[in-house]
């Protein structure tokens, strides 16, 4: 397959029915299926169905241009034929959004490489129900049923004090009782509120400083009931 700067190949080409092939591609996506802007980027996975080698056709370049124009977010499958795309949209796409998606594709159809391109739109439920007017709807149905397609959130990364060991092959369960640094910080406050419940030894272990030096700055900085003992090696709380 021709190299794409925008799409990641999720699997090797899969033969189906002895006639067609398909691949699953993925890309960063900032829009919902209804073209609303999302707060954070997600991952979109979609399938491309074809019968002739994709590297010999205009398909990938056209899909790249569609992605750049924001016209891909509602798409689950594109069936590529000579001078024709048959596009299956997610059932999440509202009827009122269809005209906006079609409008986004109009300038793409006018590109030099697409002078004779025709684009037809269907919804995925038409393939599932067998009511699609697309000749090869059964092939589309099989692909939709056997692949996880659409938009999904990327997993939130965990900043863990054992992250290096885990990335080098340790099982995460072996570190389940160790400190997860992220849980001690909150975006709601400039001063991490979670730190006040930690011991000076715990805080020192996170940043590599001694408990004595850390204590005066991070343990209840506004609480005058905490003070250093005369030997300056530990803390005690003044009680009345």
Per-residue pLDDT of the chain (240 residues; tens, 9 = 90+): 556 889 999 999 999 988 899 999 999 999 999 999 999 999 999 999 999 888 766 889 899 999 999 999 999 999 999 889 999 999 999 999 999 999 999 999 888 777 788 999 999 999 999 999 999 999 999 999 999 999 998 876 655 556 666 667 777 666 665 655 555 444 444 444 444 455 555 555 555 554 445 444 444 455 555 444 444 444 444 454
Output DSSP code: residue 1.
-
Output DSSP code: residue 49.
E
CA nearest to 61, candidates 108, 103, 15, 20 = 108
Q: How far apart are CA 130 and CA 172, in angstroms?
A: 45
For helices 211-218 and 200-207, give the axis angle rounded to 10 degrees.
Answer: 100
Q: pTM surpassing 0.75?
A: no
Output DSSP code: residue 155.
P
Following CA atoms 179, 181, 183, 185 in sequence, which dihedral angle do they give, to the nearest 10 degrees? Answer: 150
Q: Is 137 helix (H, G, I), strand (E, B) or coil?
A: helix
* Strand stretches in 56-142, DSSP E: 75-81, 84-89, 118-123
Contact 178, 162 (CB under 8 A): yes
CA nearest to 184, candidates 163, 216, 160 = 160
CA 11 from chain center: how many Å?
Answer: 17
Q: How far apart are CA 15 and CA 95, in angstroms?
A: 33
How many Cα atoms within 13 Å fall on the side-chain side of residue 182? Answer: 7
Q: How far apart are CA 234 and CA 240, in angstroms?
A: 20
Annotated domain spans of the chain: 8-152, 163-237
Q: How far apart are CA 240 and CA 226, in angstroms?
A: 12
């Amino acid at each position: 397959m021709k190299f794409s700067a925008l799409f990641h190949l999720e699997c090797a080409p899969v033969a189906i029915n002895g006639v067609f092939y398909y691949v699953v591609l993925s890309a960063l996506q900032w829009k919902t299926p209804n073209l609303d802007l999302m707060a954070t980027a997600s991952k979109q996975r979609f399938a491309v169905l074809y019968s002739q080698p994709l590297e010999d056709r205009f398909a990938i370049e056209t899909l790249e241009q569609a992605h750049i124009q924001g016209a891909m977010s509602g798409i689950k499958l594109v069936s590529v034929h000579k001078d024709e795309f048959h596009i299956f949209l997610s059932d999440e796409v509202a009827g009122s959004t269809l005209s906006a998606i079609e409008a986004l594709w109009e300038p793409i159809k006018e590109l030099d490489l697409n002078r004779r391109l025709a684009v037809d739109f269907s919804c995925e439920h038409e393939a599932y129900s067998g009511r699609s007017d697309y000749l090869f709807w059964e092939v589309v149905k099989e692909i939709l049923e056997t692949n996880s397609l659409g938009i999904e959130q990327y997993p939130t990364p965990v900043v863990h004090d054992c992250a290096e060991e885990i990335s080098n092959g340790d099982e995460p369960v072996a570190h389940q009782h160790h400190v997860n640094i992220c849980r001690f910080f909150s975006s709601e406050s400039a001063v991490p509120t979670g730190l006040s419940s930690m011991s000076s030894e715990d805080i020192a272990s996170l940043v590599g400083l001694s408990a004595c030096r850390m204590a005066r700055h991070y343990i209840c900085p506004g609480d005058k009931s905490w003070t250093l003992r005369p030997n300056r090696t530990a803390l005690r709380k003044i009680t009345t």
